[in-house]
Structure 1
C-alpha cells in the first residue's frame, strides 16, 4: 500500500483489511478517532513504535507531560514539529516496513 492509498482509505468507514495494529491505530488517529487509536497503543505498550504512537496521541490531546513520558519510553526526542508531519512520518515508516 502506498501513502496515497492509505490517505484515500481514510474516507472509508473501516480501515483496510490486513493493516498491522500500528497502521490501524494510525489510520484511526488520522481520522481523529483518538480513543480507538489510544486503545491500540495501550494494548502494545512494550513496543517502541507503539510507544511513539502513544506519545504522539498524548501530544495530540495536549498532554505534554504524558507525551514526554511516552517519547522517553519510545527512545525518541520529544517532537516539536507539526502533528500532521509526525503522523505522516510514522505512517510512511510503516508502509516501507
Structure 2
C-alpha cells in the first residue's frame, strides 16, 4: 500500500484490510482515537510496538513514559513534530 492510499483510508470507518496491528494503531491515532490506538500496542513488546507506543505517549504528553518506550524501541525521541513522526512511522510500516 502506498502512503497516499493509507492517508485516504483515514476517512473510512475501518483500517485498510490486512493492515498490521501497528498500522491499525497509527490509523486509529490519525482518526483521533488515542485510546484505541494505545490498546492495540500496549500489550506488545517487540521493537515496532515499542516504537509506536513511544510515539503515542509522546503525543499524550507523557514524555517520561515516552522516553522509556523509545529506549525499549532502541530509539531516541525525535526532534520533529508529532505529524512528522507519525508520517515517518507510517512510511516505515508500509
TM-score by length of 1: 0.93
Cα-to-partner distance string for 1:35-70 (whole Å, 9 max, x where unaligned) = 0110011121x2111101111001001111110100
Equivalents in 2 of 1:32, 1:74: separation in Å? 24
Equivalents in 1 of 2:91, 2:49: separation in Å? 15
User: Which residue of 2 is the match for residue 88 of structure 1?
Assistant: 87
User: Which residue of 2 is the match for residue 42 of structure 1?
Assistant: 42
Number of residue equivalences:
94
Structure 1 outlier segments of 4+, above 4 Å: none
User: Which residue of 2 is the match for residue 22 of structure 1?
Assistant: 22
SS in 1 for 2:71: helix
User: How far apart are 1:73 and its partner, in Å?
Assistant: 0.5
Equivalents in 2 of 1:41, 1:14: separation in Å? 17
User: How far apart are 1:80 and its partner, in Å?
Assistant: 2.1
Equivalents in 2 of 1:32, 1:47: separation in Å? 24
Unaligned segments of structure 2, at least 5 residues: none
User: Which residue of 1 is the match for residue 11 of structure 2?
Assistant: 11
User: How far apart are 1:30 and its partner, in Å?
Assistant: 1.4
